[in-house]
Amino acid sequence: MTIAEIVIEHLQEEDYANYLEVLVESYGQYEKDYKDPENWASYLNDIRASVGNPNAETILVAKRGDEILGGLQLFTDAEKAYGLPELNIQSTIVRLLGVHPKGRGQGVAKKLLQESFSFARKRQDQALYLHSGDIMQAAINLYLSLGFVRDESKEFYKGDILVKSFRYDL
């Protein structure tokens, strides 16, 4: 039996519900890291609201056949991504990279990020950014292995959590 290839494409409106389910499932692993259930509930609400965010330039999804295994959202600057123009990022920003548990270990996140590099290059950006917290150590390790570097000048706090910035120079 051959396994169908993973294909990266732009999210279509009819797939919103499936993509949202994948996002919630992929981030569910972090619930235990939130000491305050209200903070976790707020984070989940932010994730749910992100799918229809008009500020996103596009949402990329990784599919095998009709099944969505993961996705990410691309924004063209920090104001659109976070409402934080003071970060002074006028380049593509990746948000909410998530891979469903059954899609992990198959190169899904790497393929999504590689497509993001292509997107940013087409825009003639000098760099691509993403932000992550310490609880997402496996993701951070992936970013570093792909050539991202930490950029402390573009970091911010969300409540008492330091949101670390990582930059990939194109």
Q: What is the pLDDT of residues 58-113, one digit of tens each?
A: 999 999 999 999 999 999 999 999 999 999 999 999 999 999 999 999 999 999 99
Q: Using CB atoms within 10 Å of the CB of residue 27, give its burial: 0 to 12 exposed, 13 to 18 middle, 19+ buried.
A: middle
Strand ranges for 78-144 from DSSP E? 92-99, 127-132
Structural domain of 74 = 4-167
Which pTM was predicted?
A: 0.93
Q: What is the pLDDT of residue 139?
A: 94
Structurally, the chain folds into a number of domains equal to 1
Q: What CATH code is carried by the domain that includes residue 51?
A: 3.40.630.30
From CA 66, how far away is CA 29, in angstroms rounded?
24
